[in-house]
Structure 1
Amino acid sequence: MPETTGVTLEVKGRTAWQRSIAQYSDRRVLLILPLGFASGLPLLLTFSTLSAWFATTGVSRAMIGTFALVSTPYALKFLWSPLIDRLPPPIPIGRRRGWGIAIQLALIAATLALGACNPKVDLARMASLAILVAFLSASQDVVIDAYRIEILTPEQQGPGAAMIQTGYRIGLLVAGAGALIIAARWGWFAAYATIAALLSVGMLVFIFGPEPAPAPGVRLHAGATGWNAFREWLATAVTGPFADFMRRPMWPAIVIFIIGYKLGEAMAGVMAMPLYISLGFSLNEIAAVSKLVGFIATVAGALVGGVVTSKLGVMRALILCGILQSAGNLFYVLQAVGGHRLDYLAFCVAAENLTGAMAGTALVAYLSDLCSPAFTATQYALLSSLAAVGRTMVASSGGVLADRLGWVPFFLVTTVATIPALLLLVWIARRDPESLPPSGNHLSHR
């Protein structure tokens, strides 16, 4: 009988994993892939691809560096996300789909206008258009994230997070390497026009995809006027999302966890390129390994992370993927000790991207679980901005720390930097299990 019981348990476990993998074949989960692709396309058009265009036309390095500020809207999108959450959309085919199509039409037009400029004579105009593209791209992300969370069931949030990351990475590859190849052959307008045309892939999802049912009590602000309209707007669209989140037990600890979860990965990532260069790797070697191995590992990590999250639940997936993410930083230590070896570089890039993408998928699923259906767009925009704090603010001190400690001690520090966040997560779960729904209970009333 013990053997029979063991076989039964094994079959059940195998069936559970199969069910988790089968989530990727669901129509609604598949819809998230092209949305992630559309989300990833515009980013590099105002960042590295735009910098490459400027560099080839003789724009000064100082001016190229200044243009990095045009990406600011991505960090501030939570400020106008209440408008997208509660104002009637310009195209009346549903709250999410109407806003999505309207923003993407404007984004396509702005991208074409940016591509038609000449950096030698239109720098001021290009700055304005680049800011507009970044603003519309960030606004598109707000709609896409809300749409993803609202059309998927709680069990599909993990695979949905994997799909959004996979599509996003493909979009980055196309807008980065793809745009450079097109520009080299047919010019920069052709490159930007191609990306603008590809944005229509996401628009097709909004045109033919389902409109999420609004949460109970959600009402768009269209009828009230004057002071009453302003007070209603302030109470429900602006202060409402924050008040709703702060009613969650132990919300300050949750915020600290979100900020610290990917801190170690961010610290290591900032210093990865200086490490490779200090070891004598050429830019071509780094680019070749990063583009091929890094891309494959990231997509694989995102998909595996989705399966793990669906099978184990959000909390256990966060812990497991967080531990693996921390352990992935040990490959930087191997690289620092091993020196100029391409096989070590491949292992390092693969491990960092694989484990980082797994943890990223689990975190996206967790942030999605935290969002109230009544304030999905605003709360997710805010929470994702908090998740970026560790990557942008705290991790910026990595260079100073690496100079003082040296490569090996520095990367050992990054390996343990996420442990406090993981311990905090366990503490939160033990103090208040309801604050971390393992399978999306917070969303079950959608």
Structure 2
Amino acid sequence: MSASSETAAATRPTWRESLRVYLEPASLRMLALGFSAGLPLLLVLGTLSFRLREAGIDRATIGFLSWVGLAYGFKWVWAPLVDRVPIPLLTRWLGRRRSWLLLAQLGIVGGLVAMALGNPQQGLFAVTAAALVVAFSSATQDIALDAFRIESAETEKQAALAATYQTGYRLAMIWAGAGVLWLAAGAETAGSGYQNQAWMTAYLVMAASMLVGIVTVLLAPEPVPVAQPSPRTPGEWLRQTLVDPFADFFRRYRWQAALILALIGVYRISDVVMGIMANPFYVDMQYTKAEVAAVTKIYGVIMTLVGAYVGGILSMRFGVMRILMLGAITSAISNLLFAWLAGHGHDVNALIVVVSADNLAGGIASAAFIAYLSSLTNIQYSATQYALFSSLMLLLPKFVAGWSGAFVDQFGYATFFTSTALLGLPVLVLVWLAGRVLPPAQAEASSAA
């Protein structure tokens, strides 16, 4: 056994140590804050597409309206401001990270209330504008929250924080997906067809659910601030704020930066592109809101928890790059299951199998991917650099997803789901290449064997 292998074995955490980290306060806080981060996403994307389809909006329009989610892809533009600019009064009271978190969360609440009060059949523009407010505020929350998470624990524990964050995130997505469908179904009156009053009730409950994150922000301690050099001139401030975070990344990784950015840009493309049409698919397959809610609530929760924690533990034990590969493979396979379901027809038991596999794969992939992105950041520029990575993660997939409705209209659901699985093939190559050319220090940290 080589000296490097002996060192890796000596520093590898035991299974008990790997599990104990999930009970630490920082991990539990990330569970609640992950819920706050995951709640708005479906309400402006997947769940909104279900609502729009039920309201009679055509699939092509629904696909193009998914470009609201591009706000997440451009958050790197204002990330330097979130990273460096204080908010009057709030920053003095809460600190840099928590002040931006609270402001963003209040914006999400306001946008969700506006979406609740709107009616897409009578005013689609107003509902879309409110969704943009939610998306922009949610992206801002992500910027501050990613920095908060990265600064809350050392690198060795980032996989665990990513897993608890992802668990809270996925639980919120289930609440904002299955939960909102249950709420809307329960609020419906006798009769059939679209009932906006039921959706208004559901979205108001979602706005109130943001209290989970707001209370956590108010009670959580502010991470120890990283010392920043004081700029002497406005030009120096602009350089430190807008230029240095990006220059630092390219300076550290040099030519490998292009490979890393390419991997980040396409890693979740299969999931994101497929996800836009999942709820319209359920509607067109004649699944009721109660059926979709029951399946995603029960089996989605279980498999999400399993996937997120398995992904986090395996990443700590065997290295992030290996679990990234596992996540990429299982995500593509789960999309093929949706293609099978499209030809199989309306079958709740089959839906259980497909949704379970999809959530398991998504949990594993997301936990490993968040840990990978966190490992790439310099803590001095954590908010800006992580925003760049997570924005790039969504930019191309969200743009491609905008055409998903038109693609389904032309070729059908089965071909669409198969095509999204094939989109994952380049990801496998990029993960393999990235694992071979990692800088020595990071390769050592990412390999447990």
Q: TM-score range by the shorter chain?
A: 0.7 to 0.9
The one-letter code sitting in structure 2 at the alignment partner of 1:166 is: T
2:224 matches 1:213 = yes
Cα-to-partner distance string for 1:363-382 (whole Å, 9 max, x where unaligned): 11101111111221111111
Note the C-alpha offset of 1:147. Answer: 0.8
Partner of 1:251: 257
Number of matched residues?
Answer: 420
The one-letter code sitting in structure 2 at the alignment partner of 1:434 is: P
SS of residue matched to 1:152 = coil
Do the aligned partners of 2:181 and 2:293 also contact (CA within 8 Å) in 1? no
Cα-to-partner distance string for 1:217-252 (whole Å, 9 max, x where unaligned): 355x7xx7xxx32x2233111122211111123101
Give the Cα separation in 2 of the matches to 1:177 and 1:87: 38
Partner of 2:25: 27
Give the Cα separation in 1 of the matches to 2:398 and 2:431: 22
Partner of 1:197: 208
SS of residue matched to 2:74 = helix
Rate the CA distance shift 1:349–1:49 in 2: closer, same or farther, 3 A: closer
**What is the correspondence of 1:394-433 to structure 2 with a 5 Å cutoff?**
411=418, 418=424, 420-433=426-439
Do the aligned partners of 2:66 and 2:276 also contact (CA within 8 Å) in 1? no
Partner of 2:148: 147
Rate the CA distance shift 1:139–1:301 in 2: closer, same or farther, 3 A: same
Give the Cα separation in 1 of the matches to 2:123 and 2:282: 37
Give the Cα separation in 1 of the matches to 2:149 and 2:223: 9
Do the aligned partners of 1:262 and 1:390 also contact (CA within 8 Å) in 2? no
Note the C-alpha offset of 1:166. Answer: 1.6
2:347 matches 1:347 = no
Partner of 2:102: 101
Rate the CA distance shift 1:131–1:429 in 2: closer, same or farther, 3 A: closer
Give the Cα separation in 2 of the matches to 1:330 and 1:120: 34
SS of residue matched to 1:283 = coil
Give the Cα separation in 1 of the matches to 2:66 and 2:420: 27
Partner of 2:440: 434
Q: Comparing both chains, which one has the higher relative contact order based on Cα–Cα distances under 8 Å and sequence gaps of 6 or more?
A: 2
Please, which runs of 5 or more residues in structure 1 have no aligned partner? 1-11, 442-446
Note the C-alpha offset of 1:431. Answer: 3.7
The one-letter code sitting in structure 1 at the alignment partner of 2:44 is: T
Do the aligned partners of 2:264 and 2:392 also contact (CA within 8 Å) in 1? yes
Do the aligned partners of 2:59 and 2:409 also contact (CA within 8 Å) in 1? no
Note the C-alpha offset of 1:41. Answer: 2.0
Rate the CA distance shift 1:240–1:404 in 2: closer, same or farther, 3 A: same
Partner of 2:191: none
Do the aligned partners of 2:178 and 2:293 also contact (CA within 8 Å) in 1? no
SS of residue matched to 1:42 = helix
**What is the correspondence of 1:43-442 to structure 2 with a 5 Å cutoff?**
43-47=41-45, 49-50=47-48, 65=62, 68-90=66-88, 91=90, 92=92, 93-116=94-117, 126-183=127-184, 184-185=186-187, 190-217=201-228, 228-229=233-234, 231-247=235-251, 248-249=253-254, 250-265=256-271, 282-284=286-288, 288-328=294-334, 331=337, 343-389=349-395, 391-393=397-399, 411=418, 418=424, 420-434=426-440, 436-437=442-443, 439=445
Do the aligned partners of 1:314 and 1:437 also contact (CA within 8 Å) in 2? no
Note the C-alpha offset of 1:306. Answer: 1.1
Do the aligned partners of 2:339 and 2:413 also contact (CA within 8 Å) in 1? no
Rate the CA distance shift 1:163–1:268 in 2: closer, same or farther, 3 A: same
Q: What TM-score comes out, normalization by structure 1 length?
A: 0.77
Decide which moves more: 135-144 or 171-180.
171-180
Give the Cα separation in 1 of the matches to 2:48 and 2:420: 32
Rate the CA distance shift 1:425–1:335 in 2: closer, same or farther, 3 A: same
Q: What TM-score comes out, normalization by structure 2 length?
A: 0.77
Partner of 1:18: 16
Rate the CA distance shift 1:64–1:277 in 2: closer, same or farther, 3 A: closer
Cα-to-partner distance string for 1:46-102 (whole Å, 9 max, x where unaligned): 34555666677x686599747545444222211111110010133012110121122
The one-letter code sitting in structure 2 at the alignment partner of 1:198 is: S
SS of residue matched to 1:41 = helix
Rate the CA distance shift 1:257–1:51 in 2: closer, same or farther, 3 A: closer
Give the Cα separation in 2 of the matches to 1:336 and 1:110: 34
Note the C-alpha offset of 1:415. Answer: 6.0
Identity of aligned residues (%): 36
Give the Cα separation in 1 of the matches to 2:437 and 2:60: 51
Do the aligned partners of 1:54 and 1:64 also contact (CA within 8 Å) in 2? no
Larger Rg: 1
SS of residue matched to 2:221 = coil
The one-letter code sitting in structure 2 at the alignment partner of 1:142 is: I
